[in-house]
Amino acid sequence: MPLRQTAPKLSPEQYEANFADIAPPLTRQQAAVEAARCLYCFDAPCTQACPTHIDVPTFIKKIWTGNLRGSARVILEANILGHSCGRVCPTEVLCEGACVMHEKGEQAIAIGRLQRYAVDDVLDKDIRMFHAGAPNGKRVACIGSGPASLACAAEVAKWGYAVTIFDRHDLAGGLNTYGIAAYKTRAPDSLREVELVRQLGVEIRQKTEIGRDISFAELEKQFDAVFIGVGLGETWGLEIPGDNLHGVYGAMEFIEQTKVKPFHHLEVGQRVACIGAGNTAIDVVTAARRLGAETVYLIYRRSEREMPAFKYEYDLAKKDGVIFLWQTQPIRVLARDGAVTGLECLRTRLGEPDARGRRSPVPIAGTEFTVEADMVVRAVGQRPVTEFLRPVPGIELRKDGTVVIHERQQTGNPKYFAGGDCVNGGKEVVDAVAEGMAAARGLDAWLGSPRAKG
């Protein structure tokens, strides 16, 4: 059934312009000038701030000297997804946030963009940076092919482990392929990095769901250790009447379309209401506007101050002309002839701070009003998909579904290690990489490798 009113289609050029890289690649000259600005700090705060501790001053100095391959090696040794991270990391709160230039009253060094510049060079030239280690006869399975698993797999493959990655999805890469805003990175960019991992001899088996297509017993028989990097699943429901009507989408469902379909094949409402105010909600509203939606609302129960999205993500949505409805709580999805027409909402006031210190919204009776919309998107957080792990003895899950880990990312079942969104509850690509690498060191140590000391 069609949406009540869809946004008119744009020209192909317009779509491309709307979804063009928000941080375009640096030219040689720009990179040279930017690299020259780097002070080459000793014991640098940017390196400390990066979850994967990339040696930032060293890779930037190498760009400056024209040694791009060496620069890429420094980056990729610390973080096999260094290209993606350069594009998608919230650098403002990571490396660039720690840049000493702030203290100097100057713009931070464009670390993310320089990082991408260096890695682009080896990817574009198809230069092979790493090789599988001499086989050590041991086998590792990774569940999921997102950043956490890719990082874990690449690391242990370099040490000679035979690695198989299983993913239930059609394409590898996890949310790096399917989830991140198209103006930051496109699916083919993510797949280029998956190729780097495949080049290390890692086998990737798509459309294979662990717990359904392959049992844990079988997995344990074939592999010496298992890494769990299954990320998060679909978006939470709204639990209000009309939640399941046609025209109500989950954030991931909507965003995934923008990553795998040509833009002109996508249907978007002329008026779109997105519920939630995290980074994912921002990705939804910016994508909707860029696809041509005329009016896009972001609806949040609390006020601007409590908004969980990063400031620069919020700025992006403001620039895209999104309308923010603060202290607004949807209570019912409205429809006519089965198609969404809008949301009935209540105003809220902010009550006492909750456990996390955020003031909780209290709906005000009698303040009902209608937000007209042809499409509603839920962006109120994602559900973990870890229930399928229940049969594995020893693995503990928290109430919110995240996997409990101990030292070195090891779960309560010593054969299983875990990392990424399914452990941290949903952070960034770079955190998933860092945890995947930590798990690699963990399982290597557990399997008795002499590498592991301390």
Partner 1 sequence: MADLSVNFAGLKSPNPFWLASGPPANTGGQVMRAFDAGWGGAVWKTIGEPIVNTTSRYGAIDYNGVKVMGFNNIELISDRPIEDNLREISEVKKRYPKHLVIASLMVESKRESWHEMVRRTEDAGSDALELNFGCPHGMSERGMGAAVGQVPEYTEMITSWVKEAARTPVIVKLTPNVSDIARIAAAAEKGGADAVSLINTINSLMGVDLDTFAPRPVVAGKSSHGGYCGPAVKPIALHLVASVAKKVRIPISGIGGIGYWNDAAEHIALGATTVQVCTAVMHYGFRIVEDMIDGLSQYMDDHGFRSIEDFRGRAVPNVVDWGDLDLNYKIIAEIHPELCIGCQLCYVACEDGAHQCISPYTAAGNGKKNVNGMGVHVPRIIEEECVGCNLCALVCPVENCITMKEVKTGLPAMSWNDRTRQRAADPGCALPPTPGAD
Ligand X SMILES: Cc1cc2nc3c(=O)[nH]c(=O)nc-3n(C[C@H](O)[C@H](O)[C@H](O)COP(=O)(O)OP(=O)(O)OC[C@H]3O[C@@H](n4cnc5c(N)ncnc54)[C@H](O)[C@@H]3O)c2cc1C
Which residues here bind ligand SF4, judged by CB under 6 A?
Answer: 50, 52, 54, 56, 79, 85-86, 89, 91, 94-95, 111-112, 115, 430
181-210 footprint of ligand X as x/- string (CB under 6 A)? ---x------------------------xx
Cβ(140)–Cβ(443) under 8 Å?
Answer: yes
Residue 82 in the binding site for ligand X (CB under 6 A): no
Binding-residue total with ligand X (CB under 6 A): 40
Positions in 28-57 near partner 1 (CB under 8 A): 32-33, 36-37, 39-45, 48-49
Cβ(386)–Cβ(402) under 8 Å?
Answer: yes
CA dist 127 and 327 (Å) reads: 52
Q: Which lies closer to ligand SF4 via its Cβ, residue 115 or residue 279? A: 115
Q: Which does 91 bind (CB under 5 to 8 A by kind): ligand SF4, ligand X, partner 1, none?
A: ligand SF4
CB of 93 to ligand SF4, least distance (A): 9
Residue 327 in the binding site for ligand X (CB under 6 A): no
Structure tokens at 337: 């002839």
Q: What is the C-alpha end-to-end distance of the chain, expressed in Å?
A: 60
| Four-residue CA torsion sign, 180, 184, 188, 194 | negative
409-448 footprint of ligand X as x/- string (CB under 6 A)? -----------xxx----xxxx-x----------------
Q: Which among 201, 227, 266, 202 is positioned nearest to 405, based on CA atoms? A: 227
Q: Which does 340 bind (CB under 5 to 8 A by kind): partner 1, ligand SF4, ligand X, none?
A: none
Cβ(267)–Cβ(291) under 8 Å?
Answer: no
Q: In this chain, which of 10, 23, 100, 397 binds partner 1, going by CB under 8 A?
A: 100
- Region near partner 1 per CB under 8 A, out of 97-105, 293-301, 347-355, 377-385: 97-105
DSSP helix/strand/coil, 421 = helix
Position 165, amino acid = I
CB of 428 to ligand SF4, least distance (A): 8
Helix 311-319 vs helix 279-290: crossing angle, to nearest 10: 20
Structure tokens at 2: 């069609």
Q: Which lies closer to ligand SF4 via its Cβ, residue 85 or residue 395? A: 85
Helix 68-78 vs helix 111-124: crossing angle, to nearest 10: 110
Which residues 6+ apart lie within 8 Å of 290 measured at CB? 15, 18, 19, 183, 320
Q: How is 110-147 classified by DSSP, letter by letter?
A: -HHHHHHHHHHHHHHTT-----PPPP-S-EEEEE--SH
Residue 179 in the binding site for ligand X (CB under 6 A): yes
CB of 318 to ligand X, least distance (A): 17
Q: Which does 11 bind (CB under 5 to 8 A by kind): partner 1, ligand X, ligand SF4, none?
A: none
Query: Rounded to an integer, what is the distance from CA 311 to the centroid of its chain?
Result: 17
Q: Which does 111 bind (CB under 5 to 8 A by kind): ligand X, partner 1, ligand SF4, none?
A: ligand SF4
For 260, what's the count of Cα atoms within 13 Å in the CB-facing half-sphere? 18
Q: In this chain, which of 145, 190, 327, 409 binds ligand X, going by CB under 6 A?
A: 145
Q: Which lies closer to ligand SF4 via its Cβ, residue 306 or residue 428? A: 428
Q: Which residues bind ligand X (CB under 6 A)?
A: 88-89, 143-149, 166-169, 174-176, 179-180, 184, 209-211, 229-232, 255, 279-280, 283, 385, 388, 420-422, 427-430, 432
Q: Which residues bind partner 1 (CB under 8 A)?
A: 32-33, 36-37, 39-45, 48-49, 64, 92-94, 97-104
